[in-house]
Amino acid sequence: MTGCGGGGGGDGGDADPLAPEIGAQVDGFVDALNAENIDGAMRYVDSNIYYFRAGTNGFLRYSAFQEYLRNFVESASGIILSIDGREFTSNGETWALCAGTLNCSWKDAEGNARTLTEPVQIEWQRIERWGITKLSRYDTTGLQFPPAP
């Protein structure tokens, strides 16, 4: 992946040595959201997250991200979320990036089918455990996910 750098970085795909470990973390986060389990999803989020949201200036923190997730999950049904085309880059044993395409489909409160597709970058850091420390479309560009109810 161009421009991600890092001492332990790979060339995308599963070439990075932390790819299986980070991939499992991404899967856990996605699976929790597909089960509409906010508390389970938030277990993968570091309390010091930088969440970049489309339409806002700068970044938001843990409680704001949690509120956006909760509002989305409580107003939606049949959530199907995936992060496809994943590429991994790591730097040492404590930092990793997963980049890919976020695909989400759901039914809104009125029962209308909705979809969202956008690029996503998820930065992970391991202090005592892995946690999402930055969530964005690209670097500091904001995501539309989770969608507004």
Q: Looking at residue 71, which CATH number applies to its domain?
A: 3.10.450.50
The set of residues, in sequence order, having a beta carbon less than 8 Å from that of 70 and lying 6+ positions away, is: 38
**Identity of the residue numbered 142:** G
- Is there a domain that residue 52 lies in? yes
- Is there a domain that residue 116 lies in? yes
pLDDT at 148: 85
pLDDT at 6: 38
* Cβ contact 92:32 at 8 Å: no
pTM over 0.95: no
- Is there a domain that residue 36 lies in? yes
Of 85, 89, 116, 88, the closest CA to residue 103 belongs to: 116
How sure is the predictor about 7, in pLDDT bands with cuts at 50, 70 and 90? very low
* Three-state DSSP class for residue 127: coil
Domain that holds residue 114: 19-136
Mean pLDDT of 133-148: 95
DSSP 67-87: HHHHHHHHH-EEEEEEEEEEE
Mean pLDDT of 113-117: 98
